[in-house]
Homo-oligomer: A and B are copies of this chain.
């Protein structure tokens, strides 16, 4: 589903790939939508889980995280953000999946905002920095970078976007 899109991946495709029978599938999932929700959950878990390897409340941690995103995008063959691609396709689908997506993005944003708030407390960010807005901006840059990089099959646009995002964060750093 990540590679070919949700719509383009049939239940039968999944069954073949997993080596399961149909009855098994419909025993554990109520239908395709249920599976899609599970995939979404799974992908978000990976993305959000990956974040915790980094100390996002330090400048070097943020940089390391950005680098890991770049490496991942290249290694996976420019297939885009595991959740970004799903998001676009599902944003036009059933409301329940839609809510799922929105909520997952909020969680992601909150993790960033929390880290930035922590940086503010540690006086790495200036007092009037706005963590929530900075988190939103950063996430936008990441997603936009993924999209351009995927469209062009080139890591450069994403590098540029993340570098700009980092610069933008740095403009809110505390100066002593």
Contact = CB atoms under 8 A, between A and B. Distances in A.
Interface of A: 3-5, 7-8, 78-80, 84-85, 87-89, 91-93, 98, 101-102, 105-106, 133, 136-137, 139-145, 147-148, 150-153, 156-158, 160-161, 164, 167-168, 171
In this complex, the member of A88, A89, A157, A171 whose beta carbon has the largest number of chain B beta carbons within 10 angstroms is A88
Contacts of A93: 8
A148 B147 CA distance: 12
B8 A8 contact: no
12 contacts: A78-B91, A79-B92, A84-B88, A84-B147, A91-B150, A105-B151, A105-B152, A136-B148, A136-B156, A137-B141, A140-B157, A143-B147
Classify the secondary structure of A's interface with B.
helix
